[in-house]
Structure 1
Amino acid sequence: MQTILGSGGAIGIELAKALTTYTTDIRLVSRNPKKVNETDTLYPADLLNTEEVQKAVQGSSVVYITVGFPYDLKTWQNNWPKFMESVITACKNESCKLVFFDNIYMYDKDHLDGMTEETPINPPSKKGKVRAEISKMILEEVTAGNLTALIARSADYYGPSIQNTSMLTEMVFKNLSKRKTANWMGSDTLKHSFTYTPDAGKATALLGNTHDAYDQVWHLPTAANPYTGREWIQQTAIAMGVMPEHRVLPKFLIKIMGWFVPVMKEMVEMLYQYDRHYVFDSSKFEKRFNWTPTPYEKGIQEIVQIDYSKLKGKH
């Protein structure tokens, strides 16, 4: 049995699809889980309830964490450490392996241009401090020999059928699809990596089913030489057949928007990721598994074909 905790989000869905390469015994856990594959087992649970987490993990050989708590600092501070402690305890009790889908918020902001698994941990934001804390919880248990686990880190991500969890989807794809002006933050002349969600799902499944991948950190496959913000908008507009109108949102405007749109308020402390090059290096994974990440142009085209096919060609 391989179990996904937080199975309903973009990454959980792609992971469930990919796991069928390795097993048909897949358990999907969330408040209201829905089947991705016909053979999936559904297990409704409150993942903030320690007893329910323990029951959800029972009988698993590998447990994947793809939970996405609401993008709110207080929620993160209250929920993530408690949840991670419950999962670690459950995995130790069941002697199962743990795979944590992580982000890069804990990295030093002065080392974002060429991030590797060795990038210094020095979180510049309060959300980053939460992420550093929970990844440390896992790695300390691994070092102590109490847990077999790995951390799979992703850059910001983009992909088909994403709802409300991708800046690129919300500010670029959706706006352009409605012939509205696309938005960007910080500077549109700086490079910004995005991990393609189908790649992330396949790679996480591969790591979880590779014995010698455990007890270390991996960057998930992400195309090199990322576009600048302006290029992301231009390439998306070309794929959609619309004009690449866009604007760069200054910090003060994002703060004002935060009064009305809560997620924008939460973005203010993360703006450092958009005022410098943000380049994610996944060469460790690519070399180990002989993997070529999906090129950005192809990723954009696939998203438009899946989510916006009725738009293209209409003027």
Structure 2
Amino acid sequence: MQTILGSNGQIGQELANALYQNYTQEIRLVSRKPQKLHETDEVIPADLLDYDQANHAIAGSDIVYFTVGLPMNSDMWEAQFPTILANVIKAVEANNSKLVFFDNTYMYPKDATPQTESTPFKPVGRKATVRAQMAQTILEEMASGRLTAVICRAPEFYGPGKTQSITNTMLIKNLKAGKRGFVPLSKNKRRSLIWTPDASRAMALIGNTPDVYNQTWHLPTDTPITYRDFIGLIDTVTQTTHQVSAIPMLVFRLARPFNQRIQELFELLPRYGEDNIFVSDKFKSRFPEFKVTSFEAGITEIFKTK
């Protein structure tokens, strides 16, 4: 049995499809209100803030995937994520399961230094601090020998469906609706973005490769790209010239006191003023047969549907 915690999110759903197509049809989907994706799926509603419910959801699992997401709310992250993770780790250890932890890059320095699996954590901001603490907790449990786990880390998403990211919400969603698009700070800095189906396929592959556990892995991305070139690809694919503006930091600063969404976004903004390069060479060397989706192919997939 392979169990996905947070199965209703974009990553959880794509992970379920990747597992079903390539590894197993014994899949358990867990969230507050899980929904079947395949006839053979088992669904278990659970509130992971409650240990007994977390333990029930995980019992009998060989592999447990942590893809739990919370709204961009610092208070909620601080209040809930540590408890959720503690309950999951305790239940995984009690059931002799393995844990595949889906992580982000919030804890990395927000400068132009390329990010590798050995990049030290330098969290700035409340959400970054929470994610650094969560990753450090898993690393410590792995080092102790109590937990068999793997950390799968991904940079900012772009993708189909209900993919949530700054790039999707400020740029892609607006352009698909025929509106002006926006990007934070600059069109000219290079960025690593991961295609969400690639992130899920790669995580399923790692989870089902026994010798890669007790390590951190950067999930695979295409060559970094500037927003200017990304927009150019959109124009080429759609055969339309789109209008896109870069929002300067001053505008974000002025709006911050009056807009909760911008307040929560603010700690991430510095990485848009620098090149943000996520290095996935370790994964590509270990799994050379894995085909990374090109930006052109991803953009074509997004814009071929309304």
What does 1:281-292 correspond to in 2, within 5 Å? 281-290=279-288, 291-292=290-291
Q: Secondary structure at the match of 1:218?
A: strand
Conserved? CA contact 1:160–1:303, under 8 Å: yes
User: Do structure 1's residue 187 and structure 2's residue 186 form an aligned pair?
Assistant: yes
Q: Secondary structure at the match of 1:265?
A: helix
What residue in structure 2 maps to residue 2 of structure 1?
A: 2
Larger mean Cα displacement after TM superposition, 26-35 or 166-175 = 166-175
User: Do structure 1's residue 18 and structure 2's residue 18 form an aligned pair?
Assistant: yes
What residue in structure 2 maps to residue 134 of structure 1?
A: 134
What residue in structure 1 maps to residue 251 of structure 2?
A: 253
Q: Secondary structure at the match of 1:56?
A: helix
What residue in structure 2 maps to residue 313 of structure 1?
A: none
Equivalent position to 2:238, from 212, 233, 240: 240
Unaligned runs of 5+ in 1: 309-315
User: Do structure 1's residue 227 and structure 2's residue 200 form an aligned pair?
Assistant: no
Q: 1:257, CA displacement in angstroms?
A: 4.4
Q: Distance in 2 between matches of 1:35 and 1:114?
A: 39
Q: 1:258, CA displacement in angstroms?
A: 4.7
Conserved? CA contact 1:121–1:132, under 8 Å: yes
Equivalent position amino acid for 1:304 in 2: F
Equivalent position amino acid for 1:11 in 2: I
Q: Secondary structure at the match of 2:246?
A: strand
Encode CA deviations 1:14-68: one digit per residue, 9 max, x unaligned. 1000111111100000011111222111111112222111110011010000011
What residue in structure 1 maps to residue 148 of structure 2?
A: 148
Encode CA deviations 1:154-187: one digit per residue, 9 max, x unaligned. 0101111025x21111111111122211101021
What residue in structure 2 maps to residue 202 of structure 1?
A: 201
Equivalent position amino acid for 1:48 in 2: L
Encode CA deviations 1:164-219: one digit per residue, 9 max, x unaligned. x2111111111112221110102111011100111111110011111011000000
Q: Secondary structure at the match of 1:37?
A: coil
Conserved? CA contact 2:176–2:303, under 8 Å: no
Q: 1:234, CA displacement in angstroms?
A: 2.3
Equivalent position amino acid for 2:24 in 1: T
What residue in structure 2 maps to residue 32 of structure 1?
A: 33
Q: 1:253, CA displacement in angstroms?
A: 2.1
Q: Distance in 2 between matches of 1:256 and 1:243?
A: 30
Over the matched positions of the two proteins, sequence identity in percent amounts to: 42
What residue in structure 1 maps to residue 216 of structure 2?
A: 217
What residue in structure 2 maps to residue 297 of structure 1?
A: 296
Larger mean Cα displacement after TM superposition, 259-268 or 189-198 = 259-268
Q: Secondary structure at the match of 1:142?
A: helix
Q: Secondary structure at the match of 2:245?
A: strand
Encode CA deviations 1:234-258: one digit per residue, 9 max, x unaligned. 2223323332211111223224545
Conserved? CA contact 1:254–1:268, under 8 Å: yes
Conserved? CA contact 1:173–1:236, under 8 Å: no
User: How many residue pairs end up in the alignment?
Assistant: 304
Larger mean Cα displacement after TM superposition, 241-250 or 98-107 = 241-250
What residue in structure 2 maps to residue 119 of structure 1?
A: 119
What does 1:73-88 correspond to in 2, within 5 Å? 73-88=74-89
Q: 1:261, CA displacement in angstroms?
A: 4.9
What does 1:102-117 correspond to in 2, within 5 Å? 102-110=103-111, 112-117=112-117
Equivalent position amino acid for 2:228 in 1: R
What residue in structure 1 maps to residue 273 of structure 2?
A: 275
What residue in structure 1 maps to residue 260 of structure 2?
A: 262
Conserved? CA contact 2:186–2:272, under 8 Å: yes
Q: Secondary structure at the match of 2:183?
A: strand
**CA RMSD across the alignment:** 1.4
Conserved? CA contact 1:179–1:242, under 8 Å: no
**TM-score (norm: length of structure 2):** 0.95
Q: Secondary structure at the match of 2:187?
A: coil
Equivalent position amino acid for 2:287 in 1: F
User: Do structure 1's residue 94 and structure 2's residue 92 form an aligned pair?
Assistant: no
Q: 1:107, CA displacement in angstroms?
A: 1.1
Q: Distance in 2 between matches of 1:162 and 1:218?
A: 25
Q: Distance in 2 between matches of 1:84 and 1:252?
A: 37
**TM-score (norm: length of structure 1):** 0.93
Encode CA deviations 1:135-157: one digit per residue, 9 max, x unaligned. 11111011000010000000101
Encode CA deviations 1:106-147: one digit per residue, 9 max, x unaligned. 11223x442111112111222111111001111101100001
Conserved? CA contact 2:188–2:227, under 8 Å: yes
Larger mean Cα displacement after TM superposition, 54-63 or 172-181 = 172-181
